[in-house]
Structure 1
Amino acid sequence: MDGRTDQQRAERPRPAGHGPGRPAAGRGPDERDAEPTGQVPLVGRADVLHLLEESLDHAAAGAFRFVALAGEPGAGKTRLLGELTSGAASRKLAVSSGRAAEFEQEMPFGAVVDALDDHLEEHLPDLGPATVKLLVPVFPALAAVVQGTMPTLIGNTPVARYQLYRAVRRLLEQLAAEDGLVLILDDVHWADEATIELLDYLVRHPPRARVMIAVAFRPAQASARLAALVEASVQGGCGHRVRVRPLSEDEVAQLLGPNVTATRCRELFEASGGNPFYLEALARSGEPLAEGPQVGDLPPAVRAALQMELTGLSADALRVAQGAAVAADEFAPALAAVAAEVTEPVALSALDELVARDIVRPSAERFRFRHPLVRHAVYGSAAAGWRLAAHARIAAYQADIGAPAAVRARHVERSGRVGDRAAIATLVEAGRAYATQAPVTAAHWLKAALRLMPENAPAEVGLPSRLDLLMELAQVQSVGGALSDGRETARTLLRLLPADAYERRAKAARLAALMERQLDRPHEARSLLLDELRNMPDPRSPAAIPLRMRLVAERTMRLEFRAAQAVLDLMPDDSDDWEPSLKVAVAALRPMPAFAGGRVADALRYAEAADRLLHTAPNEHLADWMDAIAWLCWAETMLGRYRTAARHFERALDVARDTGQLYVVTNLLAGLARSYGTLGNLAQAASAAEDSVEEARLVASGQQMVFALTQQSLVATWSGSEETALRHADEAVAVGAGVGEWWGSMAHYARAMALFGLGRQDEGVQSVMKATNGFESPTLDQRTLLSCAETLAQVEAGRGHPDLALQWAERARHMRLEGVDSNNALADLARAHALLGSDPAEAARAAITAAEALEAAGERIDAGRARLRAGTAYAEAGDRKAARDHLRIAADTFQACGARTLHGQAAREQRRVGVRVPAPGGRGSGPGGLSKREYEVASLVAEGFTNSQIAERLFVSVRTVETHLSHIFAKLGVTSRVGVVSALNRGEPGQD
């Protein structure tokens, strides 16, 4: 037994796959899909079979593979997936298969649940409680085993989707741990958006195990996102897109065999167009081929052939078939009986007839149509009114057995009537169940509920009002990345709300403005806020505060600091008629405009006051104003208060996730990555940056993508993965959002840092000038501008241009602001770079001054860089003992942080002053201490192979190659692929 009740078995379509560790025997991706009397021969697919075999070999050797079979309905994709199953079995690879269904497209993760759900219970101990908690809302089998967990988790605990997708990846790794895993998903053109998002995540972050994913879809019905992820898999080197073409006339003749005349073969070929399913249906009929216009998805001759199959059925069998088509892709006899209004014994007898006629095929206690097109034809053969009543009967039956609203919703939607309170309640409950895990599905159910709600419907017991439901819908759409739809929903709500409903209007306007901002439409956001404020009789009332605060944020983003300050000046710090949370929110907003306006002392005072308020405020006081809290956190980073910023970012993330406010999670994660990275916690920074990017991709906001990718690029540069850093920065710049704003300029800054790390100095200088607008009216913050000037001083000093280096150091000196010592330390470091050649002793003193200020602030990466410069300066001055001391501190700092390239540079400088630094590779390693695998990668680099080609050759992921390269750069003391080639040619580490 699998731990589920009969009730739960009846609530959902059954999974269709083989479990891990139980390979199929070669009769298709599912035993139930095989022809009862044996399959027809497979012809004309040698090229596809070769590619599938090759992909299986790669997967068996440890390389992730993604294969997409694209073909029209009936082209033979499912049969080819069956051959893939046989190939997997011959390699001892486990197989799990499932498929999406035409009439169940609203079921979140339907195909994945179909494939995996029956095989999870045995793996519970290995997954760990945190992973299981994330997976329970998706997989019914886990919910049944983890007693009492499902309702609580689905209803009350929002989960960021990227966390869920990571948990599924962990699940696949666990399932593949022993035998490997081939996950087969058929008909994914019908898959819900959450499934496509999950596949996209897995392609970009492949499971670290012997896993192959194969999907089949109809290209004409594929979503743009599905097409994009298939293309991304091909471009990334792990995927293949295979076109399953129609059969040729010769192949049709071969398939039909010698007993069919040449005339009949030609007739069947022309009528079927070489489509195997059409050909089979027409050959089954044995009748003259009908002609006429194509109707719907099927050619007229094929439609006629399928209808002929149905006309030969008894009345009971036809009715049960139609009920089954309404019920589910894979159905239990009881459900088909309910839909058909027959007793279960009658249904069972009818199913025997349907199996004998190969309309449906059995699998244990359930049945499935032999092909989705057969179900489509059967469903269409039933009268529309009868289908509506059948959906109603199923919905009532499922309610009687206690099926969750999310399971009943599909049938309720198709049978509910306007004003049906029970139907509306079911749809609302279903929408709320998936608001964070599958927001696109949630929005679908909420919109369905709205269609059944009468105009101006008031709130009732157990039901929200129409206006409240519109607000819920807008919020779900924003979480799901449907920003344009969410904006329109919020604007519709504003049109419907009474003019004097000031608080509700303010909430709706604030939400709409947030989405306008994320759509990179700042002018529309500001106009919306100003219009609402003008319509308020008292612009200083508590109801106006949300609008004013959003307006401050908008103007700050646009660098209109005086305007932002003017709005803040009209707001007191507190008021008797304010909610307690408003005091916290206003305090959180004050530091940023003050700092941006040059009032550093005020900004620091405001930040301290906000910190004290946050320390004592409960989480519910933060929950209503997450965007204001985010501004405080970012202001703290710009003030050099990174420890405090990290603490506040962490708490804000917890609150945002607990309350389902995932729209702000990307921003908070990006800030956390910046804080962790500056503090030298690079592993944590990389994780936060990756999470930020994942959430940004799901929200589909250009602004959020730039924020996230910029921080991911900077963390990669600090970590020594400069090529990866440049790729992230290039993507951020290519998004094209944020022109003229701080975050848009930050993308160019990140690109410059990556280019400098790769030794591409001229391009790096150009990117710095782009980021800073040539230092004329720059949009960057003081800390970043100082970093630009300090970096340029270092670059010019390294090029042998001391005069230019001194000019940049002098520019940095003029950027100093009283009160932000750790920021100002970069000016001292710039001076140290500039003086290295002319006055190394003074350069060392300037570097030590910078190091001490940075260390006091906990900014370990830059502190290590300052110690490195002090060490090299002392070496130039002839003080080898001082040089060794500072270089040791620098090397230890970089090693502790995980800054590989910087650590390699420090180790090289230590060798130059006589310190014996052991090669990281130890005894028996290659040049520069490279390990055997690193030497393999380096040798392929020297041969001119790209990262993707190296990954293909060594059967590893591109990301693994990038990690090896970063280690190689650090060990060889180089910063580019050219440097690797030079070092290998010399046979020893050195500079490129």
Structure 2
Amino acid sequence: MLIRQMVGVTGRDVEQALLEALVTDVAAGRGSSLLVEGEPGIGKSALLAAPLAAAQAAGCGVLLGHCDEPGQRLPLSAMTRLLGVHPPSADPRHAQAAPARRCPQARSGRGRRGLAADPVTTATEQLLTHVDRLCTSRPLVLALEDLHRADEATLLLWRRLCRTAAHRPLLAIGTCRPAPSRPALVRLRRELPPHGGQVLSLDRLSEASVTELAGALTGGTAGPRLAARLTSAAGNPLYVRELLNALERAGSLHRAAGTVELPAGGHHTGELRALTDVIADRLACLSADARQMLRLASLLGPAFSTADLTAAARGGALDPAAAAAGAGLLAAVDEALSAGVLEPAGTRLRFRHALLREVLHEAMPPALRTGLLQHAAQQLIAAGAPVERVAELILPAVRDADGWEWKRECEWLADNAARLADRAPGIAAELLEHALRQTDAHGPRRHVLADRLATLYFRTGPVERAEELARTILLETSDRELAGRARWLLTSIALRAGRYQDVEANWRAALGDPRLAPRWRAGLLALLALARGFQGRLGGGRAAMAEALAEGVRLNNATTVGYALNAGALIRSREGDQPGALVLADLALAQIGDDPEPVDLRLMLLGHRAVALDSLGRPREAEEALARARTVAERTGATLLSMNLVRIAERHYEHGRWDDAQAVLDEVTDLPQGRWQLARHSLHTLISARRDNRPQTPGHPEAAATPDDEAAPPTWPVAASYRIVARSLVLERTGRPREALDVLAVLLARAHEYDVRRHPEWLVALVRLALAVDDRGTARAAALESRRNAHIEPLPATRAAAGWCRALLHDDPDRLRAAIDHHRAADRPPDLGNALEDLAVLRAASGDRAAARAAFGEALALYAGLGAVWDARRAAARLRPWGVRAGIRGPRSRPASGRGALTATEQRVADLLAQGLSNPDIAAMLLLSRRTVETHVSHILGKLGVRSRHEVAAATAERPPGPGHRPAAR
């Protein structure tokens, strides 16, 4: 009589009650997350079976997946299998979320692959968006087992799902072993409780529960000798079952009168002291062919396709071509299925338990394991298997035998490195590094491998290693294509880092390099034009741009033409010709079309477009350009995405969407050192200072903005000027206006000429501050510079600023009307509030207290909506000498909870939540990122005191919005 399969769980009443409550909650729209920990075989999977079935019966979508060891080197493999989005997929929503795979034609050697999107980041965002959309149709339960085997990208994605599960009808359940402890799992455990999740540790079963379990498995009551023998199972349900199976196979279990017992004095199972011994005993019952097949299968992972197994077995002892109709392999598979070692898993096979595979894998001598891996890899290469599947086999063989001969595999890697880097960049990097170590210094493929690795590192980091490899290629190769790509890579790295002198040096070196083809020289010349534009060397930049453009047209090279037009757009913008800059940016975007490769170029062009549109009074289109740039950047990796987020946060700050700006800045994870870090810290400082938030720690951005800080290089556009403005504001706020003026007056230098045209309100602040300390000379200089900018670039913003400066300098309130009208129409509440404050001061000084009080009241209302406590205090202090007060009550601050606590954007998001829209849909409507919407949803639920999105509609209908509320920008 065979031992029964375990049905249900024994001794887990408390744990089952917890899972039942979580399922009830998610069915009602209240999400959560749970991590179930326990040793192998303790019953994690069995515990989930009944709750998952109950969730499905309650109308929830239920998806169950597993992580495996080979998948640790394959980004997002577990998540794509869990969500069923690996192509082809029958569900069109799944197909939409599937990670994109580039066609081979798009991977020609003539492309600038280093600038392409990062497929792992792209796939992560697509999968998160897919989950968001699934949750809108019905409650969703995601269960992912064996997280200790998950790849890093899957763990990061899972952590992000768990952090936001409570904000939507999503129950995310993960299982893992407590050891070995991985840093990503430690972070997951730590993050769950603060975000409404729980960690559940499964203890070993009590003796009474073990006896009960044995009875259920054997169909009788365990006798005293059997119960005593089962104590060696240490309360582990799997061990109990396997031990009973071993005793049954040995004929040691006797049944009589409903009791199952061991014979008295029996010792033939005493040597089975560990679970691995029990499993080895099970495998010993199989034939030699079945064991050989299972050894080979264990190299393919816990789950594998029959095609992979057939290919791996070809040419070996189990070669189906050598046996009648493939009977050898089929018979071995059937035997393993009958013995319960393997089981079907859809169209694949898998080991019934990971421990079965582990015992087989570890029992093999390293030399045998390496030989089988190499053989399997070569057979899969010959069969045309997917690149990541082949790489999974090569990598462990490389680690086990560093010096083995792998000429065929090296050739395969050189030919497939680009596709492998798209799917599994970590595996690609490790294999390419190994290949370089093993390849002869003068081997024909060495520089090809170095080129592939440098391209990968430019995209994923470390960039320093990419630069090192590119320099090595330039020193050693005679190949024209490799030399051109290496020079392009070096120049692109220098340009991104703001090392414009290195861009010039690379160009000079390229002029004397006979290996460089004309198309590479033209492309480098376009980068040189861009670098000169950033430096403010507009004449030299214009000449380089014209030459590069002409050469790009002659060569019919769209990318070169795009880069040249991009440089032209930058130069036109710096010359004050925003319409011309917009025309060139649009021409360049049309040139590169839908080509996915030149990501850096596309992002720069969209940035130029946004600046030009904002300057021309087309804010909605500017915001759409930045939203499009964000979508592109989300596919590139953390660095370019973070840079783009800083740009978006800058615009949110200028338009008074300070909560949005803070939410976007909180998304930033990986900024390059230098100007981008500077810009991010400066924006944090400005918002913090204007809201009168005191720095809490020495590392706080505002605390870092001290007057002793070293000045930023003027070649860092806007970021350096933002730092100046932030430092000046901090000094003024701490009662040091003279020092604040000295810092802000640096903006009058020629190095910042372009910046103050982009931000003409900064010169207004300089005039105001200079007059406050009675420095009319500086005030006149700033007003003159503002007037000059309006002449160079006669746009509404520069003209309004020039009139504003003259109004302050000549105490003429009538000249402020144009500025007030402009900022009201442009939806820039911070600048509108400042203009109304100045109007109130000038009206009060002229004796018109009624008009002053009206302007002051409107300014304070705007400040209240922004949370600009410092601006309100400054305004009150300026008007106090004239006897103008805010009124008996003054503007009320926003409450801490309820609908009135919601900011303008949060109210808009809440309205859309109440309509049942998903986060991606809300993000698209409001031109925000999905992650920014997640942050707003979290704040909304907290302020309204509700647990689910379904409850938001009732909570927001309680009362009208609080004071300071204004419609969200659309």
Residue 335 (structure 2) pairs with residue 353 (structure 1): yes
Per-residue displacement from partner, 1:387-446 (whole Å, max 9, x unpaired)?
A: 566556655665566543343443466789966655334334443214235422332453
**Would the alpha carbon gap of residues 786 and 48 (structure 1) be closer, same or farther in structure 2, given more than 3 Å must change?**
same
Residue 238 (structure 2) pairs with residue 256 (structure 1): no
**Would the alpha carbon gap of residues 586 and 674 (structure 1) be closer, same or farther in structure 2, given more than 3 Å must change?**
same
For the Cα contact (< 8 Å) 1:843–1:870, is it kept in 2? no
The one-letter code matched in structure 1 to 2:341 is: I
**Would the alpha carbon gap of residues 424 and 788 (structure 1) be closer, same or farther in structure 2, given more than 3 Å must change?**
closer
Distance 1:478 1:363 in 2: 39
Give 1:117's aligned residue: 84
- Report the TM-score when normalising by structure 1: 0.65
Query: What does 1:181-580 align with in structure 2 at a 5 Å threshold?
Result: 181-200=140-159, 202-203=161-162, 210-221=169-180, 223-229=182-188, 231-235=190-194, 237=195, 239-257=197-215, 259-260=221-222, 265=227, 268-269=230-231, 271-286=232-247, 301-333=274-306, 335-336=308-309, 339=313, 340-342=318-320, 344-363=326-345, 366-381=348-363, 391=373, 398=380, 402-411=384-393, 422-447=408-433, 450=436, 453=439, 456-458=442-444, 465-482=445-462, 498=476, 541-543=511-513, 579-580=521-522
Secondary structure in 1 aligned to 2:198? strand
**Would the alpha carbon gap of residues 883 and 582 (structure 1) be closer, same or farther in structure 2, given more than 3 Å must change?**
farther
**Would the alpha carbon gap of residues 604 and 384 (structure 1) be closer, same or farther in structure 2, given more than 3 Å must change?**
closer
Following superposition, the deviation at residue 310 of structure 1 comes to 1.0
Secondary structure in 1 aligned to 2:707? helix
Following superposition, the deviation at residue 56 of structure 1 comes to 3.2
Distance 1:644 1:453 in 2: 52
Per-residue displacement from partner, 1:337-364 (whole Å, max 9, x unpaired)?
A: 5623355444444444333322122345
Distance 1:509 1:414 in 2: 34
**Would the alpha carbon gap of residues 420 and 371 (structure 1) be closer, same or farther in structure 2, given more than 3 Å must change?**
same
Residue 60 (structure 2) pairs with residue 93 (structure 1): yes
Give 2:685's aligned residue: 752
For the Cα contact (< 8 Å) 1:794–1:834, is it kept in 2? no
**Would the alpha carbon gap of residues 449 and 777 (structure 1) be closer, same or farther in structure 2, given more than 3 Å must change?**
closer
Distance 2:430 2:772 in 1: 65
Residue 98 (structure 2) pairs with residue 135 (structure 1): yes
Following superposition, the deviation at residue 374 of structure 1 comes to 0.9
Distance 1:631 1:932 in 2: 36
Distance 1:238 1:505 in 2: 54
Secondary structure in 2 aligned to 1:96? strand
For the Cα contact (< 8 Å) 1:165–1:198, is it kept in 2? yes
Give 1:73's aligned residue: 40
Secondary structure in 2 aligned to 1:215? strand
For the Cα contact (< 8 Å) 2:167–2:948, is it kept in 1? no
The one-letter code matched in structure 1 to 2:947 is: F
Distance 2:87 2:510 in 1: 57
Following superposition, the deviation at residue 159 of structure 1 comes to 3.8
Secondary structure in 2 aligned to 1:92? coil
Distance 1:888 1:621 in 2: 59
For the Cα contact (< 8 Å) 2:451–2:482, is it kept in 1? no
Residue 139 (structure 2) pairs with residue 180 (structure 1): yes
Distance 1:874 1:423 in 2: 79
Give 1:980's aligned residue: none
Give 1:3's aligned residue: none
Give 2:534's aligned residue: 592
Distance 1:99 1:480 in 2: 27
Give 1:771's aligned residue: 705
Per-residue displacement from partner, 1:697-736 (whole Å, max 9, x unpaired)?
A: x55x6xx79756644554554565545645766897x989
**Would the alpha carbon gap of residues 488 and 348 (structure 1) be closer, same or farther in structure 2, given more than 3 Å must change?**
same
For the Cα contact (< 8 Å) 1:323–1:390, is it kept in 2? yes
Per-residue displacement from partner, 1:735-778 (whole Å, max 9, x unpaired)?
A: 8984xx54443333212222145343788999567436358746
Distance 1:291 1:641 in 2: 89
For the Cα contact (< 8 Å) 1:101–1:187, is it kept in 2? yes
Stretch deviating more after TM superposition (370-379 or 632-641): 632-641
Following superposition, the deviation at residue 76 of structure 1 comes to 2.7
Following superposition, the deviation at residue 670 of structure 1 comes to 8.5
Give 1:4's aligned residue: none
Distance 2:410 2:965 in 1: 64
Secondary structure in 2 aligned to 1:773? coil
Percent identical: 20
Secondary structure in 1 aligned to 2:141? strand
Following superposition, the deviation at residue 587 of structure 1 comes to 1.9
For the Cα contact (< 8 Å) 1:720–1:900, is it kept in 2? yes
**Would the alpha carbon gap of residues 777 and 874 (structure 1) be closer, same or farther in structure 2, given more than 3 Å must change?**
same
In structure 2, runs of 5+ residues without a counterpart are: 251-266, 775-806, 877-884, 912-936
Give 2:525's aligned residue: 583
For the Cα contact (< 8 Å) 1:431–1:441, is it kept in 2? no
Per-residue displacement from partner, 1:622-664 (whole Å, max 9, x unpaired)?
A: 9689999999988988888888778888968997995657689
Query: What does 1:829-868 align with in structure 2 at a 5 Å threshold?
Result: 829-831=765-767, 842=811, 844=813, 847=816, 864=832, 868=836
Following superposition, the deviation at residue 305 of structure 1 comes to 0.8
**Would the alpha carbon gap of residues 202 and 479 (structure 1) be closer, same or farther in structure 2, given more than 3 Å must change?**
farther
Distance 1:233 1:867 in 2: 47
For the Cα contact (< 8 Å) 2:167–2:947, is it kept in 1? no
Distance 2:293 2:751 in 1: 81
The one-letter code matched in structure 1 to 2:319 is: E
For the Cα contact (< 8 Å) 1:430–1:445, is it kept in 2? no
Give 1:572's aligned residue: none
RMSD value, Cα: 6.5
Secondary structure in 2 aligned to 1:68? strand
Secondary structure in 1 aligned to 2:137? coil
Give 1:972's aligned residue: 963
Following superposition, the deviation at residue 469 of structure 1 comes to 0.4
For the Cα contact (< 8 Å) 1:253–1:265, is it kept in 2? yes
How many equivalent residue pairs?
834
Query: What does 1:786-797 align with in structure 2 at a 5 Å threshold?
Result: none
Following superposition, the deviation at residue 96 of structure 1 comes to 1.9
Per-residue displacement from partner, 1:51-90 (whole Å, max 9, x unpaired)?
A: 4334434433445544333333333332233344223223
**Would the alpha carbon gap of residues 291 and 251 (structure 1) be closer, same or farther in structure 2, given more than 3 Å must change?**
same
For the Cα contact (< 8 Å) 2:656–2:828, is it kept in 1? no
Give 2:253's aligned residue: none
Per-residue displacement from partner, 1:469-501 (whole Å, max 9, x unpaired)?
A: 02311321342345576577668768xx54999
Following superposition, the deviation at residue 307 of structure 1 comes to 0.9
**Would the alpha carbon gap of residues 493 and 435 (structure 1) be closer, same or farther in structure 2, given more than 3 Å must change?**
same
- Report the TM-score when normalising by structure 2: 0.66
For the Cα contact (< 8 Å) 2:67–2:78, is it kept in 1? yes
Give 1:28's aligned residue: none
For the Cα contact (< 8 Å) 1:49–1:80, is it kept in 2? yes
Structure showing greater relative contact order (alpha-carbon pairs closer than 8 Å, 6 or more residues apart) = 2
The one-letter code matched in structure 2 to 1:187 is: D
